[in-house]
Chain A
Amino acid sequence: MIEVKDIHKSFGDAHILKGITTSFEKGKTNLIIGQSGSGKTVFLKCLLGLFEYEEGSISYEGKNFSNLTRDEKTNLRAEMGMVFQGSALFDSMTIAENVMFPLRMFTKQSKSEMEDRVNEVLQRVNLENAHNKMPSEASGGMQKRVAIARAIVNRPKYLFCDEPNSGLDPRTAIVIDNLIQEITDEFNITTVINTHDMNSVMEIGEKIVFLKDGLLEWEGSSETIFRTENEAVTNFVYSSELFRKVRKMYLEEND
């Protein structure tokens, strides 16, 4: 479980996060949503420890990240997997080498053990025949799946995804969403996803955190988001006619 208390983050005079308090539960897909510029990516990077914040605390299983020693932080980070918006695959390595990288860095496994594990996770993301391809030879959807494989190869406790569906066609986006949901359930990990994708919100959002202007405006789930009267949330989530209709149908069916 990740607990966030009163996080403040500024860049110069720009106060980006203005005191966010929330928690992300184990075994759930937690979504952070909000308009561009609402502070989602900064918040995610604070969770990952890539940005230092001025006030507040972020605790992993009760341990305050800021109070950890350098070695403890390194050990904690070895338990994190991250899927970046642009996949961030190492372009000088093959797909298999990319996936094997965390194992080479953090484990003492033999080469054959590592290869077995890489085969296993590549199979898990339906890329069993892509071992020797370079990232530049893979499509956007394949790169995202490789990034997911790399993120889960070392059996992380926490999985973070920054806009995992951006730039993907709707069909591939659904495949990626389902994959993340399945992995979260299968390995009982804490998953935090930063997204703009309303399909993801409705399909896999077990907990949804809505940010507006650096503040936590609303939190709920994919079910309560249909019923919320919060104007900022409804203006954002139901900005398209399609989603307004989906909401109407949901409410008609469930009331």
Chain B
Amino acid sequence: MKTPITYLENIGTYFIMIKDIFRRPTKWSVMKPLILKDIDDLIIGSLGIVAFISFFVGGVVAIQTSLNMTSPIMPKYLVGFATRQSIILEFAPTFISIIMAGKVGSFITSSIGTMRVTEQIDALEVMGINGINYLVFPKFIALTLYPFVISIAMFLGILGGLIACVYGGYGTMEDYIEGVQLDFEPFHFIYAFIKTFVFAFLLATIPSYYGYFMKGGALEVGKASTTSFVWTSVMIILVNFLLTSLLLG
């Protein structure tokens, strides 16, 4: 059974791990291919699902907004405005990050956890290699490109809204584009990308923690992946609330 002391111990271990990510760095000639591989696995490999979800959720947001605007005095351009605000402020940074906690987070936990189970991490440590730097640092660097994924999600979400709105007969292209351009606040982008960077850090470190410090066998790898998804999602939601209160409140 987990006691408050266990939770405190886990939090302490997590912060020590973060310090160790930057300690005793691995040779650049070894690290470079690891970073490129993680960019491929974590960033490029996620573009398809992110594009698909963003496009269709953008469409759904536009349709829902349009259907709920029953009053004739409400201007039609509000569909574009509401879609833009939903996508930029919350859907792209937060909702996509929760999806990434499932996709990328589970991948990180299970790949590092399998290395732990098969003693590959012990092999690194016996060789005198800082296993945390070797395994987590490339993921951390790869996920600094995460805002690029979120930019694509923003663009495709708004595009999906436009296509659903125009081709579904919910409004004209001119109204939608006018709404998208209405009262544009550049700080909203800054807010969204600040959140994205923080979420990227959580996405790289929390699943790595659950993989690196897992104990047991194959069954525990599965359990660690699930726990990692739950805690990454919880932390994303909590940090989202905190950042929104601080930056927009």
Contact = CB atoms under 8 A, between A and B. Distances in A.
Interface of A: 45, 48-50, 70, 73-78, 80, 82, 84-86, 88-92, 101-102, 104-106, 160
A76 B128 CA distance: 8
B9 to A, nearest CB: 13
Contacts, number: 53
Contacts of B30: 104-105
Contacts of A73: 128
Interface of B: 24, 26-27, 29-30, 37, 118-120, 122-123, 125-129
Given A104-B27, A105-B27, A78 B120 contact: no
The 4 closest A-B pairs by CB, nearest first: A77-B128, A88-B119, A74-B128, A88-B123
Contacts of A50: 122, 125-126
A40 to B, nearest CB: 15
B29 A86 contact: no
A73 B29 CA distance: 23
Contacts of A77: 126-128
A48 B126 contact: yes
Given A88-B118, A88-B119, A90-B120, A82 B126 contact: yes
Interface centre among A75, A85, A106 (most CB of B within 10 A): A106
Contacts of B129: 105
A84 B123 contact: yes
B119 A78 contact: no
A48 B121 CA distance: 13
Nearest to B29: A104
Contacts of A75: 128
A91 B26 contact: no
Contacts of A104: 27, 29-30
21 contacts: A48-B126, A49-B126, A50-B126, A73-B128, A75-B128, A76-B128, A77-B126, A77-B128, A78-B127, A78-B128, A82-B126, A84-B123, A88-B119, A89-B120, A92-B37, A104-B27, A104-B29, A104-B30, A105-B27, A105-B127, A106-B128
B81 to A, nearest CB: 47
Nearest to A45: B122
A106 B126 CA distance: 13
A82 B123 contact: yes
A202 B32 CA distance: 47
A112 B24 CA distance: 27
A48 B126 CA distance: 7
Contact of B118 (A86, A106, A160): A86
Nearest to A77: B128
Given A88-B118, A160-B126, 8 more contacts: A50-B125, A77-B128, A78-B128, A86-B118, A92-B37, A104-B27, A105-B27, A105-B129
A28 B164 CA distance: 76
Given A77-B126, A77-B127, A88 B120 contact: yes
B221 to A, nearest CB: 14
A92 B118 CA distance: 13
Contacts of A86: 118-119
Nearest to B111: A92
Nearest to B26: A105
Contacts of A160: 126
Nearest to B120: A88
A74 B24 contact: yes
Contacts of B120: 88-91
Contact of B126 (A80, A89, A92): A80
A106 B125 CA distance: 13
Contacts of B126: 48-50, 77, 80, 82, 160
